[in-house]
Structure 1
Amino acid sequence: MSISPVESIFTLLNETAEDIQHVHSLSYLEALAESGEHWFTGTVEDSDLELKQRLELKYRGMSLESFSRDDRRKAFQLAVLKGMKEHTQPNHQMTPDSIAMVIGYLLEKFTEGEEKITLLDPALGTANLILSIMNQLDGKVEVAHGVEIDEVLIRLAYTGANLSEQPIHLYTQDALEPLFIDPADAVISDLPVGYYPNDVRAADYQLQAKEGHSYAHHLFIEQSLKHVKAGGYLFFLVPNSLFESPLAGQLHEFLKEEAHIQGLIKLPQSLFKNEQSAKSILILQKQGADTKAPKQVLLADMPKLSNGPAVQNMMAKIQQWVKENK
């Protein structure tokens, strides 16, 4: 039975990561970041000579160049998923490729006519979402910026970006602190949902809660609008209940002032564990001198992504909507 390129790369990364993990008593994810980096640079710096020789032998048998960027990304993310199952933290979640594909398609349609764009993801995680989209848009994204506070995740994002050979500037910080990043052409993000514990920092935001902690996902939307160019588009993965929460009225008023709501696409329930965790893609455009609200907001329920004809049909409808409203 033939082994796919993704399986071959996964086997290499997994075996070498486990080897590094056992010799140096690291977590699997830390060892994986190290292994991916060794493979990318073609050199193994390790104090354990026996391990160094074993690793060099394995990497030598598989050249990086013989695999596509996206196969490398997929295999690396499979290994990341394995590591996350063993060591689950609530913030260690990954945006599935199927959702990245839909957001990539939307980004492409909304920025049609622009030869090159810059991207920002203020909640980068392992960078699977942004790397998947950059590979999908094949050279259209000139440079991307990613912000992530978790050091393990940013290390994985760094290795993943190298293996995908994509230009990303990485920032290890709380994305709700001041960002020293030029405004991007577009923002894409799987928003962290929940309360933001830093009330002092939240006080600098219009969307801070009047009492108690503010919603992190609301503050991320406001921060993103500050860091996108006038007329730029934002694509957020948001909870289905975004506009039904206790602070939804405040969010709605803010968006009326700052942005045009372009669309809300409900993703199929089958992509999520349960109804509570189900999400939609919210599409916004930052207001500018030449922007105006769409004639009608794009509201759609995405069919099951396994239903090819229904998905094609939906994509055609979205394309038509963009043509008529952009």
Structure 2
Amino acid sequence: MEFRLSLPEFQTPEDLGHALASWVVRKGSDRVLDPAMGTGALLRSVLGRYDSLGIRRGASRIYGIEINPSRARAAAKILRGQRGARPHLFAGDFLLDGFAIDGTNGFDGVICNPPFVRWQEIPSEYRRLLNEKGGWASGSRKSGLAGLHVFFVRKAFEYARPGGRLAFILPSTTFAASYAAPMKHFLKERATIVALLAMDPTLEVFPGVMTSISLLLIEKRSPPKAHRSLIAKLTQVPSPQDLRKMLRGSVIDRTMRALRPLQTKLAVSANWTNLATRQSLCQSVLAPLGSIAHVRRGIATGCNAFFTLSYNAVEELGLPHHSVRRFVPGLRQVGYEVSPEDIELAESAGEKTHLFYLQPEQETIPAIRSYIDFGAATGVPDGYLTSHRAKWYRLERRKSAPILFTYMTRTRPRFLHNTSDALYLNNLIGIHPIRRMSQPDLMAFLAILNSDHVLRRLLAIGRGYAGGLLKVEPGDLSKLFVPDPAQLNKKDVGKLADSFRRLALLARVGRAAEGLSELNGLVKKHID
């Protein structure tokens, strides 16, 4: 339980809370539960909904539970001070101690923005307890990847009365990941899926946090055979009026994309949020990135402490220069390019920039043999990756990539021009063009890849984690449809190439936003 106390709170924006509350609360007598209330943002929206229905003491109809006692106290102070009535608020762990709330009669509505925590970040003991509580635990054991938010959906469903409405804010990747198959099967068979609304990935719903979210609206009743679920992509947070219009079948603006498939036809294996945003294969200018370039994760050493070295360490150990290769170090100071000068600057600052990367014939050189023996004596060969190599000290062979991708980031993901000839580790993905690209073509390709046009697709396929972390796997990146620079005329290529060069220069002086704005204007004009 302790690990959840330290999780950051991402308060639901007021406009989004109002929209969800307007749907969840149908009449003044409804009882509503928020099982992850934080400081009470969503419950404040519920109170606003009661106000609009003319209910003066609506606070007595709201229930909330929050694991962090200080946040629970803050919620109690805010909510209790309104309308004179006392809400029913508890400090506790809903997933493990849900019985603390009297849910025997069921709630008319559930509204929830659960914490986005991936399975790997959940301590093993807490995982065990979650599995013991049932729900979708069998699916979790099978895949080992179920995020904490998935458990909230299942547990909250138990507390709704038959016919009750439930609204969740979830990572869009929930409906793509394999671990969600048990959840999707359950929802398809046991609930009426009213709507699944994917917010445009470039829309910053939570200020300062780059994550792609979807709104799940369901009712606790078996779906009618002819029921059609609304699946849509939205480019703006809907107002209560907009949400009502959408659910009645109206399109709220020209950028909204929607479809209404039969719920019985929804495939559990499909990415449901992608149904309304699926890229058309008939657009000749678009192609899977994997058809334009090889997409490869960087070298995994298995023990960076041994395999990565500073220049001074290489000299002190007496390692021959041909037994090491430069690699791209941390990218804290780099904008959109990695040059030889960047590597040298990091090297002069004492950073590790050299990789122990020997060839077979070098193993008998005394200094190299001595370093290998040192690694063996300190247990390096016992690691998982090193123990699975034919020779634990020989890393996989890899070439430098002209384009590097920051596939795991809390800020805007970037495609970097690598002119340093340095190798890259598994904190980066390398993009190796299949056909030889001229310098203008490569620069134009980098402009395209760093545009909002591609960012929207990236955020749709990436996986969002706690703290706003975004991760895009190499396999997903290979399937990403992007504009193919080979389909552009030379004039457009030249303009796009110039826009990337300018972006790289402006990023060096802290003006990346200016460069991106100009670049996006060109991409929109010539490609969108």
TM-score (norm: length of structure 2)? 0.39
- 1:260 pairs with 192, 195, 216, which one? 192
Counterparts of 1:294 and 1:90, CA distance in 2: 42
CA drift at 1:274: 7.4
Instruction: Within 5 Å, give how 1:223-302 maps onto structure 2.
Output: 223-268=155-200, 269-272=203-206, 276-287=210-221, 292=224, 295-302=227-234
Q: Which amino acid aligns with 1:125?
A: G
CA drift at 1:283: 0.5
Aligned residues: 227
**1:126 maps to which residue?**
39
Counterparts of 1:273 and 1:294, CA distance in 2: 39
Computed over aligned residues only, the root mean square deviation of the Cα atoms, in angstroms, reads: 3.0
Match of 1:176, SS state, is helix
Match of 1:280, SS state, is strand
Change beyond 3 A, Cα 1:294–1:90: farther
Contact preservation (8 Å) 2:31, 2:62: yes
Match of 2:115, SS state, is coil
Contact preservation (8 Å) 2:19, 2:240: no
Does residue 188 (structure 1) correspond to residue 111 (structure 2)? The answer is yes
**2:141 maps to which residue?**
210
**1:154 maps to which residue?**
72
Change beyond 3 A, Cα 1:93–1:315: closer
Counterparts of 1:294 and 1:164, CA distance in 2: 43
Q: Greater helix share, 1 or 2?
A: 1
- 1:94 pairs with 5, 8, 11, which one? 11
Change beyond 3 A, Cα 1:293–1:274: farther
CA drift at 1:129: 1.1
Q: Deviations over 1:145-167 (max 9, x none)?
A: 10111011001011011222354
Contact preservation (8 Å) 2:38, 2:75: yes
**2:411 maps to which residue?**
none
- 1:222 pairs with 124, 140, 154, which one? 154
Counterparts of 1:313 and 1:118, CA distance in 2: 22
Counterparts of 2:86 and 2:225, CA distance in 1: 33
**1:317 maps to which residue?**
245
Change beyond 3 A, Cα 1:178–1:217: same
Q: Deviations over 1:113-146 (max 9, x none)?
A: x441000010010011111221233128551110
Does residue 171 (structure 1) correspond to residue 90 (structure 2)? The answer is yes
* Larger Rg computed on CA atoms: 2
Q: What stretches of structure 2 of length at least 5 have no aligned partner?
A: 1-5, 251-261, 263-528
Q: What stretches of structure 1 of length at least 5 have no aligned partner?
A: 1-88
**1:145 maps to which residue?**
63
Counterparts of 2:16 and 2:189, CA distance in 1: 29
Q: Which amino acid aligns with 1:92?
A: E
Counterparts of 1:262 and 1:311, CA distance in 2: 17
Identity between Structure 1 and Structure 2 (%): 22
